[in-house]
Amino acid sequence: MTAADLQSWHDYFVTVAQAGATLAGLLFVGLTISLGHVINARGYLARGFTALALQFEILVLGLFALVPGQSPAALGVEFICTGLFVLAGTQAFARSFPEDERSQVLSGRGPRAVRFVLTSVATLFPALAGLGLCRGWPYALYLQIPAVLAAIYLSIGYAWVFAVEIPRRKEEESRKP
């Protein structure tokens, strides 16, 4: 892959960076709406951190890819570091704030597995794309597409949980006699 090949991805990475910034704002709104509930449920804290970290990740990946004249190898190192850093951060936060009985929305085994897979794809695929760039793989950047989709899907799901589902369930509980 050459610097000219990277240039052909310009519009994609502009869109990725914009999506990361926009969704981070949406997440802050959702978290603010449910802040009391999120603070009281350790698992929601980890989910909130993960959602924001993933949006930060796609924003940073987009910005790194937009640096003019950068070599594919330099971009590869940036992608590797970003993906692994965000993975380490989200895993450390999840260990510090595990799911508990108060983080009930989508807390079953299946939803937890889906969240784990999506977080892994969102963080490891950029690192793999970076490795590919360093090694000259011609289609390395295509690994960014499932990573970005996983990050956006998971973050929109978390925003829904924070902005709609948690308040809805709390409202239902308050109506019960």
Q: How many CB atoms lie within 10 A of CB 58?
A: 30
**What tokens were used for 90?**
């989200």
Q: Hey, is 114 helix, strand or coil? A: helix
pLDDT at 46: 85
Dist. CA 118–CA 72, nearest whole Å? 26
Q: Hey, is 68 helix, strand or coil? A: coil
Amino acid identity at 53: A
Residues 6+ apart with CB under 8 A from 82: 57, 60, 61, 64, 126, 127, 130
How many structural domains does the chain have?
1
Question: Tens digit of pLDDT for each residue in 33-69?
Answer: 778 877 877 778 888 899 999 999 999 999 999 999 8
**Over pLDDT 70: what percentage of the chain?**
98
**What tokens were used for 87?**
């993975």
pLDDT confidence tier of residue 130, bands split at 50, 70 and 90: very high
State which residues form the domain around 62: 3-175
Q: What is the mean pLDDT of residues 121-127?
A: 98
pLDDT at 104: 67
pTM of the model: 0.88
